[in-house]
Amino acid sequence: MKETGDPKDQQLTVALRIRPLSDSEKDEGATVVAHKVDDQMVVLMDPMEDPDDILRANRSREKSFLFDVAFDFTATQEDVYRATTKGLIEGLISGYNATVFAYGPTGCGKTYTMLGTDEEPGIYVQTLNDLFKAIEETSDDMKYSVSMSYLEIYNEMIRDLLNPSSGFLDLREDAKGVIQVAGITEVSTINAEEIMQLLMKGNKQRTQEPTAANQTSSRSHAVLQVAVRQQSRYRDILQEVRFARLFMIDLAGSERAAQTQNRGQRLKEGAHINRSLLALGNCINALSEKGGNKYVNYRDSKLTRLLKDSLGGNSRTVMIAHISPASTAFEESRNTLVYADRAKNIRTRVKRNLLNVSYHIAQYTNIISDLRSEIQRL
C-alpha cells in the first residue's frame, strides 16, 4: 500500500496474485506460464505447441505487466494482507471509506484470498482482528462501534448471507444520504473465531452452479461490509462524529459468458455479472480521471450503487487480481492481466522506480533455466 499522504492521490492500488499450479492442472500436463519477476512485475508467456521451440519463441511471445505489488505461490496469506489491506485500517478509524476487491476467473484464488481457511485465514478475518486491535489502542475520549454484514449480489439481486431466509433485499438511501441494504443482518462481535464461523457458514449459502467450463463457477459477488461508527463524549453525551465503511468483495468469476458456452438463464446471469464488473470498471476509470470531474454512473448496477460512497470521495481502493499460472489458463490469465493493467491509476503508475537492466537480465536467466528444467522433465 502506497502512502502519499493525500488519500485522493491513491485512489486505486492494483495487486496481482498467482496461485500455485493445482493438482488437476499438473495432471493435465499444464506448464507454468505466469511468473512473478520481482515485487511488481509479472511475465506471461504464450504456451508453445512444440516445447523445443520455447526458448526462441519466448522472445516475442512473452508480455510483462507492472502492478503495485505482485505475489506468487511463495506468498503467505499474511504477506498478501499486509501489502494490500493492512494500511487501510488507520484510515478507516479516522473516517475514510475503503474497498478491497478480489478479481479474476473462477478457480484462481479469490475466495482463498478473501475468506481463506481455518488454518490460513484470509483478508476478512485478518482485517477485522487488526481493526479491533487498533480500536482498543485509541483514546478513551472516543467510543467506537463496529458492525459487520455479509451479502451476495447474484443476478442483480441482494441476499443476506447471514440470514438467507430473509429473501431479496433492497438498497435504500438513509437520512444522511448513505446507501444501506434495508433489513440486512448486522453483527457486532469482536471474537475472531466466531466471525470466521459466521463467514464460513455464510459462504456456503452463496449461489454456485455448475457450468460447462467449471464445475463450480461462482456467479455471485460476495460482499463483507464493515461499518465503523465513532462517537465523541461531549458533556457526557455521545455524539456520532464519524462513520466509515470498508467493503471487502469476493467478485464473481470474470470469465466471459461466451467462453462458458452459456445458454438461456445462464447467459442472462453471465450478462448481469459482466454488467456489474463493467460498471465497476467504468466507475474506477472515471474516478481516476485527472481532476475527478468525470461523470460516474453508479446507477448502472447493484454493486456500484452499493459502493457509491466507498468509491467516491475520500476512499482508498485496492484491487487484487488473481490468475492461475497454468498454460491451460493462458487466455483467461491474459484477459485478467489486461483488465487489471487498465484499472491502474496512471498517476500512481508513474511513481514506480525503474529497475536496472542487469537485474532484469538476471531474472530472465532464472526463468529460462526454470523452463529448461521443465522441458527436460517432459
Q: Cβ closer to ligand ADP: 119 or 174?
A: 119
Instruction: Compose the 57-96 pattern: x for residues touching Mg ion by CB under 5 A, - for all others.
Output: ----------------------------------------
Question: At closest approach, how far in Å is the CB of 189 from ligand ADP?
Answer: 25
Q: Which of residues 195-254 bind Mg ion (CB under 5 A)?
A: 218
Residues binding Mg ion: what is the number (CB under 5 A)?
3
Q: Which listed option, Mg ion, ligand ADP, none, makes contact with residue 272 (CB within 5 to 8 Å by class)?
A: none
- Bridging pattern class, strands 97-103 and 237-250: parallel
Binding mask 100-139 for Mg ion (x = CB under 5 A): ----------xx----------------------------
Q: Is the dihedral of CA 305, 306, 311, 314 positive or negative?
A: positive
> 119, 336 in Cβ contact below 8 A?
no
For Cα atoms 62, 319, 294, give the angle at the middle one, nearest 5 degrees. Answer: 105
Distance CA 43, CA 81 (A): 23
Is the CB of 218 or the CB of 260 nearer to ligand ADP? Answer: 218
Min separation Cβ 107 and ligand ADP, Å: 5
Reported as type and span, the H/E element at residue 179 is: strand 179-181
CA dist 7 and 98 (Å) reads 10
| Closer by beta carbon to ligand ADP, 54 or else 252 | 252
Which residue is it, cell 501489502?
A: 83
Between residues 287 and 303, which has the closer beta carbon with respect to ligand ADP?
303
DSSP label at residue 121? B
Nearer to Mg ion, 42 or 115 (CB): 115
Nearest to 15 by CA among 234, 280, 318: 318
Q: Least separation, in Å, of the C-beta of 21 and ligand ADP? A: 10
Q: Binding residue per annotation — 108?
A: yes
Residue (110 or 245) nearer to Mg ion, CB: 110
In whole angstroms, the minimum distance from the beta carbon of 60 to ligand ADP comes to 30
- Residue 7 annotated as binding site: no
C-beta of 122: minimal distance to ligand ADP in Å?
A: 9
Three-class DSSP category at 138: coil
**Contact assessment for residue 172 and residue 179, using Cβ atoms and an 8 Å cutoff:** yes
Q: Residue 36 touches which of Mg ion, ligand ADP, none (CB < 5 to 8 A by kind)? A: none
Residue 108 contact among Mg ion, ligand ADP, none, beta carbon within 5 to 8 Å by kind: ligand ADP
Q: Is 317 annotated as a binding residue?
A: no
Indicate the residue whose CB is closest to Mg ion.
111
List own/partner pairs for 347-350 with CB under 8 A and 24 or more apart: 347/9, 347/288, 347/290, 348/2, 348/9, 348/10, 348/11, 348/12, 348/13, 348/68, 349/66
Would you say 104 is a known binding-site residue?
Answer: yes
Please tell me the distance from the alpha carbon of residue 183 to that of residue 111, in angstroms, as a whole number.
26
Nearer to ligand ADP, 36 or 322 (CB): 322
Angle, CA 326 vertex, CA 325 and CA 330 arms, to 5°: 95
Q: How far apart are CA 156 and CA 301, in angstroms?
A: 7
Give the distance, in angstroms, between the CA of residue 112 and the centroid of all CA atoms in the same chain: 11
Q: In the beta sheet, which residues pair with residue 64?
A: 43
In one-letter notation, the amino acid at residue 92 is L
Question: Residues interacting with ligand ADP, by CB under 6 A?
Answer: 19-20, 22, 104, 106-112, 218, 322
Which segments are annotated as binding site for ATP?
A: 104-111
> Which residues here bind Mg ion, judged by CB under 5 A?
110-111, 218
